[in-house]
Chains A and B, each alone.
Chain A
């Protein structure tokens, strides 16, 4: 009898990966430029004399780890989804304008000195989020108006919008006052920082909701990768499914980008890595990419804050440097295998 992916098998894989992620996060929580001991942390915040280990663990490391995990999961899932919708293994979450849209939103917020806050997020976060969504909506409209060949139109619209907005960003950067410019450029490089708990909670809810939504349509994503005609022949409403997938992916990416800037590489490499390890079935890809994306970014952030001691690197540098060779090794090792690890 043929074997297909069952709920039981998938749950097993998810649980194993989650357990590995939990262990990894525990280890990374104890690694940093200041050495802390778990027993001291457990003693609590301390009354008259603040417990440094506790403050560092709960106030700095945990929020950073959680943010890294959330952003990693969001970017990885968005990457998987866009690669499926666009039928293009080189797609990443930023390809359809989110990156330049978020950047433009952020720059406008900084230059205009806007001070809207929403749900406790800073004006920058809010404007980057709105910028990302507005741009993606623009790209979708332009791409679908163009008609029949939706995928090509979307790609072209994304490229054009990205190019145009990047030029606007460069211009605005050149006329802004110096301290503001350098800040925004730095933000665009991508950074994991300590966010307040309520923001982490809200983001977690949004990102998890998006990932679950993507999981719900994941079997239709499998069909979409065969092309519009084939998918329709198998009963998929391609326009609706593409729009849903696009919306979820754009939403979680916008949340991630508004919190941590543009962290590259995660959305491109993790989908491929998970595909190499587990196969291209999106019912597996979505949840497992989320978990492995989290793990990747948690490790990258830990390296970014410890590798050069006091000098803290932006996490985007680590993802790029570490991601490249890692992927090459994986490709060489597994491309010779005929059957997948199931």
Chain B
């Protein structure tokens, strides 16, 4: 068997894997002296991987040429666009993290290595064309993520977050694996295309159970309700740059993976999973909105916000059409930008000694004391709430358009009505920043890379971001078209 074409298809993953392994050696022999250097090298590796993926995405790669290793791995445009988002989010994490960790004296070489391996795992996840590839990627990502959550091992909250994440994550992996084994047992294959053929005549009870278990395990990974419990605790406890990473890249990977399993492997049995997705979508929207109202910690609030957003993303999947998938991808891209922007803004909120402030009440009067930061957060919050003319509206627009096209009117109506509940806490943050008297706690100055990243995010969510929607829409459409849907 000639492996060269396969190696060409996994070139981005190879770059990440080799860089990661090399950095492990650097860390083992050099220690933390090279922490800064290793994060720069890792960021360059992400840039390289990004450049390697981009051509396939722009060309809309699809078909049998994208299969590697005998159908275990698939490097089509659909996986490619997700990889672009993952690498961009991981790169952003590496840009902002060193400043954060240096300030508290915890800058470790391991950090960038763990981010590299986590991103590699996600990259494998989104390219999975086989249940085993799926599990491999997922575990590589999860195990790196557990350690990342507990990075600050002196900090109780960070350790708690890591432990919680690990216990619940392991449980979810178990559920997922059990589902995979059921599906394998009843269909005789782990390959997505093979499963699609096997289930085309209908699902028997065993297959249905397998499907439900797989969906549940993946719902945990995207923190969709009712499998969302871990999210607020982990997001709160993990160091802020890590939280930003968790809220962006793994979400993309798991949502894309869920889409691929649903649409490719079970594409002929839409009825079986559509109701599950609809229920999870509505529950996530409502729980994400209601849960956020009582929060006083901004990271917990953003955790509920991410649950809420996952609900909207799932509406695109519930449509089960190419336009639904393309809407989902557009929403994901916008969501990543909004999430990265919000967390970078949160990172800027520091007191006079440079300590991180996480209370929502600390933001009081930010519009007077730090107007630029307040305006950027205002744009991000209204964008998350989906108020036009900010770009967040466009994300909601495309997923609801897809849902309405297939006559899921009740889902669309309930979902959008529930989004008003979510608007309440977004405007509450705006109220605290703009209407309240200054609390005079935010003193620290931001760093240049943080400002640059925040500026980019703010410009993208501003109405100027609409200029890139034709281009984004085109890419998302090609990516959705590259999915190998069973006839």
User: A and B from one assembly?
Assistant: no
> Hey, which bits of chain B sit against chain A, CB under 8 A?
none
> Hey, which bits of chain A sit against chain B, CB under 8 A?
none
